[in-house]
Homo-oligomer: A and B are copies of this chain.
């Protein structure tokens, strides 16, 4: 028997909702038909496409980079914020608010060209190991989601990653892991300076954020800025994805909102989908029920989670 689409998804309401939606919007002449040019899918990254526990992959990267830099620089190592960060003591590190921590982390790659930063990320991925699963964090993409991105592309969708993470961090691996080109990644960013070095023009990272972090309302706003069309499919796993999902599912076209519920402590983790910046906010699964979005149970809807055992 030929394998059907989405082989790593169990039969159930979530898989059916996805297949039905894709069939509906691609049926020429049908009541739900959407031209390919308007088949835009936006997908969160951390916790939606890859594992985000025990910490965001980018945080693991920054911790390692900070430790490496502190080993070279006693003054940096003696900074109480940095010392607390390196001990994993977030309470002390953030006692004065998130500003000093952000400054310490944003300053890590100040002065690097964008190419040098991409090389640093790629090198880190080549050596890093996830603390629980013991494999590179780039091997902890969710197989069912990678299949879903392929299914969407095979049906004429443009697939964009819309992440709260750093856009250049995700771009360094998005094509290899997800088949998503760098220009199809929308994320948080730092400002870069235009500079001449000898005969060459380079773009140099600063320690300043470019606009707001790409979470909440900025996700919807940056989708328009970058993609220029209202999506018809949005997928997320935290309250920081709420506005993006609302934007995608309240246009004139048929639409689908999907929410990944992390309810699988055995194969991955079990936790509520709150936003990093608003831990007290309503979990996205509660909002999904009110909004008619489809909740994907990692435990029940996914036959497998990772490609590695």
Contact = CB atoms under 8 A, between A and B. Distances in A.
A247 B185 contact: no
Given A185-B228, A194-B217, A200 B115 contact: no
Contact of A201 (B160, B182, B247): B247
A128 to B, nearest CB: 21
B201 A183 contact: no
Count of identical protomers in the assembly: 2
Interface centre among A192, A227, A228, A229 (most CB of B within 10 A): A228
A37 interface: yes
Interface string A180-204: 0111110001001010000111010
Interface of A: 37, 114-115, 158, 160, 167-168, 171, 175, 181-185, 189, 192, 194, 199-201, 203, 210, 217, 220-221, 224-230, 243, 246-247, 250-251
Given A37-B181, A181-B37, A182-B229, A224 B203 contact: yes
Contacts of A160: 183
A230 B182 contact: no
A201 B37 contact: no
Given A37-B175, A228-B171, A228-B183, A221 B194 contact: yes
Contacts of A115: 230
Contacts of A201: 220, 243, 246-247, 250
A226 B183 contact: yes
Given A115-B230, A230-B115, A243-B201, A210 B183 contact: no
A2 B150 CA distance: 38
11 contacts: A168-B228, A182-B228, A183-B228, A183-B229, A192-B221, A199-B250, A200-B250, A201-B220, A201-B243, A201-B250, A226-B226
Nearest to A115: B230
Contacts of A243: 194, 201
A19 B203 CA distance: 29
Contacts of A230: 115
A285 to B, nearest CB: 20
A221 B250 contact: no
Contacts of A185: 228
A189 B227 CA distance: 13
B247 A183 contact: no
Interface centre among A114, A182, A217, A230 (most CB of B within 10 A): A182
Nearest to A40: B183
Given A194-B247, A199-B250, A200-B251, 8 more contacts: A158-B183, A167-B225, A171-B228, A182-B228, A183-B183, A194-B221, A201-B243, A226-B226
Nearest to A225: B189
Pick the 4 closest A-B CB pairs, nearest first: A182-B228, A194-B217, A200-B250, A183-B227
Nearest to A171: B228
Contacts of A167: 225, 228
